[in-house]
Structure 1
């Protein structure tokens, strides 16, 4: 009798999902179609069209679902996020922590606009949100985040300035705060996979972006590995190769 015959229904379903994800990871044609679809959504500013509990989140739904799965699995005490914008992702993570029943989100931004700060502070999820204004790579900010993360199960999200040098400095500053088994997620690695010159008014481009920073950091730090299953299962993501799991 096969070993699968003794599996529980839950284990059998999990095994089937793992097979699905493996198949998606091997389907090069489908992956190419997904990249083409994503490229065609950019002129429509697709990621700007979603909100969470009333705040613009500026994320693709696939990445939101991926983050929900990770948060439930990790059960963090603290989520550190660089880049606040309208605060939608802060509210999203805070609402998930509210359901989990513990935890805080710490957002960092060089410029927290007054109307965004007011809306975040007035939100029902505000009690699980704290904010720091300043550059995410300022030594004082880094030290304060380290103080708040001490002794807490921590997950890190990097989503501010997307240039290679800035993201690499963020990784060196904040990835070490990531707990073993938790994640440091680097958004907008997709810039490396897009046509060059797509962001002429920004300091990042092909060859100078979060994905190149991730490659440099993983090469110098064996504590992290790219979770390829997240890429395979989402197919459409602004963070391909950016879901870094701390393994030691």
Structure 2
């Protein structure tokens, strides 16, 4: 066994031990609960744009993009555009001829302006409209035509019904060995009070949608290894790997 293989085996063992340690898992959940009221995810930017994600999840995204080398990344939910810029910059580093497609029901003008003048915008296309509206879906599928490796990130409206509809629609575009990633599944694990006046909460959120989706779809499985090595993630049960064509 060479040194690289030995190191990889050690890492795999570390991840398994983290997964098997109930105290570490519990501490992670407590930490997440305690920092959520402070909007921890709002504290970070990527190449000048607010990213509104946990750094741990962005590192996982980097690993997925580098290993998969997708020729299309689709994300529902744009906000300030930091995630789109992140994905575009990763594709720039990978060096592939690849695109990022961002979808949002309301792309605010100041955000659109900042995204469009960013150096990474050369890889980005924006679509304004509901991610589950027929016209929007048709535009997305037309854009994805002839793409070989498609990666999907769902991060828009977090209600069970909306996310389940997104899962059913966009799972068809995900190619074998790629991922369908659902952010903010963490809502199910947090006190209802942290959702405020949002239309989602315990029992009605992205994680419940994932569970419902997987009951009737055997093309995907939850990649628990990603969650176990991150410990701090907004997407527990949300990293879905495509295991079938």
- Look up the SS of the partner of 1:197 in the other structure: helix
The answer for the alignment partner of 1:27 in structure 2 is 21
The answer for the alignment partner of 2:163 in structure 1 is 167
The answer for the alignment partner of 2:210 in structure 1 is 214
How big is the alpha-carbon RMSD for the aligned residues of Structure 1 and Structure 2?
A: 0.7
1:171 Cα offset (Å): 0.4
- Look up the SS of the partner of 1:68 in the other structure: helix
Which structure 2 residues correspond to residues 26-175 of structure 1 after superposition, within 5 A? 26-102=20-96, 103-152=98-147, 153-175=149-171
1:149 and 1:232 map into 2 onto residues whose CA distance is 32
- Look up the SS of the partner of 1:81 in the other structure: strand
How many residues in Structure 1 have an aligned counterpart in Structure 2? 242
1:106-161 Cα offsets, whole Å, 9 max, x none, are 00000000010000000010101100000000011111111111221100000000
The answer for the alignment partner of 1:179 in structure 2 is 175
The answer for the alignment partner of 1:245 in structure 2 is 241
Give the gaps of 5 or more residues in structure 2: none
1:10 Cα offset (Å): 1.1
1:197 Cα offset (Å): 3.3
1:90 and 1:160 map into 2 onto residues whose CA distance is 13
1:58 and 1:134 map into 2 onto residues whose CA distance is 21
The answer for the alignment partner of 1:4 in structure 2 is none
Q: TM-score, normalised by structure 1?
A: 0.96
Do structure 1's residue 202 and structure 2's residue 218 form an aligned pair? no
1:124 and 1:226 map into 2 onto residues whose CA distance is 34
- Look up the SS of the partner of 1:198 in the other structure: helix
> Do the aligned partners of 2:187 and 2:195 also contact (CA within 8 Å) in 1?
no
The answer for the alignment partner of 2:5 in structure 1 is 11
Structure 1 runs of 4+ aligned residues shifted over 6 Å read: none
2:9 and 2:25 map into 1 onto residues whose CA distance is 22
Do structure 1's residue 235 and structure 2's residue 235 form an aligned pair? no
